[in-house]
Amino acid sequence: MNPVRPWAWPLLLTAVMFFLATVFPATKRLSTELSPLTISLLRYGLATLALLPWFASTRRAAGTRRNPRVKAGDAAALALLGLLGVALFSFCLTAGVAMSSASSASLLTNSQPIFTTLLAPLIIDEKLTPRRLAGALLGLGGVALIVTGGRLSAALLRQEYFLGNLVLTGGAVAISVQTILLKRFVIRFGGLLPTFLTMLAGSLFLAAAVLATGGWRELGALRPAGWLLAVYIGLAGTALVYPLFNAALRGYGVVRSVGFKLLIPVFGILLSWRLLAERPTWPTLAGAAVVIAAVLLLQRAAGGETPRDPVSQ
């Protein structure tokens, strides 16, 4: 029997999307004190540690019959997907936020379904229907509008936020490829195990990069307010939302739950405006409307299918 009342699921999912949206302005603020690699490590390292007890207890409760053995080849593949979809993605997100705006980051990061739709037929031979293609092309137009700021000129490289927006778009492509390749592991192991192992592997890659570049020295100079932001991003903005969104997928349904992810860029723009005094331009707002419409169209065209359980922020 589901202990959560049906009317409570929309409230819970709205709260989850709000917490995810707060990551963007918080990361923007933290980027004034820490490098992108260090921020990424703090976020996913803290989240991995926080999720470890939940992962262990959930796996134990599932029983051995539902916990197929992870072979060495599977572990190596999941580690590489952690490098792609956690380490590289988080670096692109934090570096992109530092060079662009938090509102643009919330939009471009959540353009993932657009790139997933276009790349899946090339990687796993998934069918690309005319409706999906139309939605993806519409979404690409919205992404281009945000990245370029609606201005196409010879001085494009010197335009404010252009390079940062490109990096953010690269992060969306990275997480899209990871999501596509992760699908077969989700089918075999369920959503929890592949997601946790990729997060663990990505955190280890980030730790190695921080050690190699001397980024750990930044932590000694980080002020208490910075530590609070880092802990918030890792725990409330990452670790907390995973079990909550998983619960919603089971109790409220995939189609309805995934639809709430459209709230992330909406909250992201509003929070960036209120907390960082970022005023989105008309091209950004127009691009946002196009991207959100495209993602909604793609979701309906796919019947609400999602290749893995947890959120991918």
pTM as predicted? 0.89
pLDDT of 240 over the 70 cut: yes
Model confidence over 106-134: pLDDT tens digits?
999 989 889 999 999 989 878 888 888 99
pLDDT score, position 167: 95
Instruction: Give the per-residue pLDDT at 257.
Output: 82
Share of the chain above pLDDT 70, in %: 90
Residue 151 has pLDDT above 50, yes or no: yes
Average pLDDT over residues 86-99: 96
More confident residue, 242 or 45: 45
pLDDT for 2 equals 53
Q: What angle do helix axes 36-62 and 89-99 make, rounded to 10 degrees?
A: 140
Asked whether 302 and 132 are in contact (CB, 8 A), the reply is: yes
Out of 8-22, 37-51, 115-129, 190-204, which region has the weakest mean confidence (pLDDT)?
A: 115-129
Model confidence band, residue 307 (pLDDT cutoffs 50, 70, 90): very low
Segment 161-187 mean pLDDT: 92
Measure the CA–CA gap between 274 and 160, rounded to whole angstroms: 21
User: For the ranges 25-39, 223-237, 257-271, which has the lowest average pLDDT?
Assistant: 257-271
What are the b/e assignments for 208-220, b being 16+ CB within 10 Å?
ebbeeeebeebee
313 secondary structure, DSSP code: -
Spatial separation of the C-alpha atoms in residues 112 and 179, rounded to whole Å? 9
The mean pLDDT of the chain is: 87
Other CB atoms within a 10 A radius of the CB of residue 124 amount to 12
